[in-house]
Structure 1
Amino acid sequence: MAGDKGKAGTLRAVVVTGGGRGIGAATARRLAQAGHAVCVNFRADAAAAETLVQAIRADGGSACAIQADTANAADVARMFDEAEAALGPLHALVNNAGITGPLGRFVDLDVAALRRVVEVNLIGTLLCAQEAVRRFARYPTAPGRSIVNISSVAASTGSPGEYVHYAATKGAVESFTVGLARELAAEGIRVNAVAPGTVQTGIHAAAGDPERPARIAPRVPMRRVGAPEEVAEAVLWLVSDAASYTTGAVLRVTGGL
């Protein structure tokens, strides 16, 4: 895609957290296809991340896989250090890492599970954004620096009876997106979010309900759930120069919900 490389033709480095599977993997692939150098972050599934990196390289792209728990500040700093050493100065961050925790009524939610969802979805997003802004500050005249946070339609629906705790973290992510966008706008740094609806990924099985997409599909105005690649296209646009006047936006990719 024209405009996704720097003026000297150098690759623009992007960190994609939780990039080994699902929406993160689709986003990493699409960014690489558009000419970005991609850091595929993973916490536990090294095999999935390495397989994706090898596929990107086989297709002529540039990528590396880096393990880090995004809810751990030391891990986050190390990840960005290693990503820049491997790929060059940071151009963009995609805050994709997230978990739902188990499905069910809020009153029955285990406190440890609640804390982990907040740590990954909210604290992790904040820590990675904070580190990205510190890296951006080293190159104050670099064009196109941006952050894209992955939210969810749950931020609007609240997801009653399923995971209101998850929805609450995504609502916080959207508030954070707007506030940080306004704080950084004068510095030429854009901050946006993508809020997917139900997407066909492994996150549903991880929550204990692999059949959830099929059950949700009839409620969606388009009568289907989304594909990870459809969300990746929205992320790519927000990262790209085509979105140069877009900041503080929450782009809904929901099939009409």
Structure 2
Amino acid sequence: MLVTGASRGVGRAVAAAFAARGDRVAIHHRDSAGLAASLRASLPGQGHAVVRADLADADAVAAMVDEAAAALGGLDVLVNNAGQAYPHPITEVSYREWQELWARTLAVNLTGPANVTWCAVRHMLARPPGSPPARVINVGSRGAYRGEPGQPAYGAAKAGLHAMGQSLAVALAPHGISVASVAPGYVQEDETNASYKVPRGPDHAAQSPFHRVARPEEIAAAILWLADPAAEWASGTVLDLNGASHLR
């Protein structure tokens, strides 16, 4: 299975969860070779791989997915986890900055996952008869529904990712491929991304009636279930994972 953005945070927890159940994992990163290598070294089992690509580069994406499939002997699960948010409040950025940040955000958070999925599906369709059911799982965001006023392109991209997953759930069901999405709220940092994201303070925790933010392992547990052969009927779903901080 291939996890994008696997060197940090949720992606790292997802890779660890799948390896713990005996899967071989391709760990994707963009510019975190050291973290990706340390994750591979820590995973149980053999045959894990590290692959690199900037998801905004379509040719690099195709090469990365092919490399992952070659290293693992095929692909049966894809987790589109990689993403990046760039602040761009509409009242505080220039028109040029607005355009550039929308283009960059959509490239990483929507077009990139779409390209990864296209490439991965080609390998899923080539699996031999009797292979485990294939799964595509997208990591979206609560922000797709609640709004992202400081980074509107991020909210729009994640909403698009959810919609893409639902469209592909219909398109790929006849081929035995299920597609689902999760929509997390705030997630706690670990040592791999504490300096990479804004620290989660009391105001973030207060948004949930549990008075905390999610642990990466909680998001990973839901993704692990969606990838299970028994979860085929969840295809097309968008699973809210926000601790009742936003209800719809």
Same fold (TM over 0.5): yes
Secondary structure at the aligned position of 1:107 is classed as coil
TM-score (norm 2): 0.90
Partner Cα distance (1:200, 1:144) in 2: 31
Partner Cα distance (2:65, 2:16) in 1: 19
Which residues of 2 match residues 111-130 of structure 1 at below 5 A? 111-130=99-118
Q: Return the match for 1:27 from 14, 18, 23.
A: 14
Segment drifting more, 123-132 vs 73-82: 73-82
Residue 170 of structure 2 aligns with which residue?
182
Contact map agreement 2:144 2:156 (CA 8 A) in 1: yes
Q: Deviations over 1:28-73 (max 9, x none)?
A: 00010011110000000100000000001xx335411111112222
Segment drifting more, 168-177 vs 135-144: 135-144
For these two proteins, the number of residue pairs brought into alignment is: 238
- RMSD of the alignment, in Å? 1.7
Contact map agreement 2:22 2:45 (CA 8 A) in 1: no
Partner Cα distance (2:110, 2:33) in 1: 23
Residue 148 of structure 1 aligns with which residue?
137
Partner Cα distance (2:83, 2:194) in 1: 12
Secondary structure at the aligned position of 1:245 is classed as helix
Secondary structure at the aligned position of 2:186 is classed as coil
Residue 63 of structure 2 aligns with which residue?
78
Give unmatched runs, 5+ long, in structure 2. Answer: none
The amino acid of 2:30's aligned partner reads R
Aligned-pair distance for 1:90? 0.4
TM-score (norm 1): 0.87
Aligned-pair distance for 1:216? 1.2
Contact map agreement 2:180 2:235 (CA 8 A) in 1: yes
Contact map agreement 2:133 2:229 (CA 8 A) in 1: yes
Partner Cα distance (2:91, 2:168) in 1: 32
Q: Return the match for 1:163 from 147, 151, 155.
A: 151
Calculate percent identity across the aligned residue pairs.
Answer: 37
Residue 28 of structure 2 aligns with which residue?
41
Residue 5 of structure 2 aligns with which residue?
18
Residue 125 of structure 2 aligns with which residue?
137
- 1:95 counterpart = 2:83: no
Give unmatched runs, 5+ long, in structure 1. Answer: 1-13
Secondary structure at the aligned position of 1:198 is classed as coil
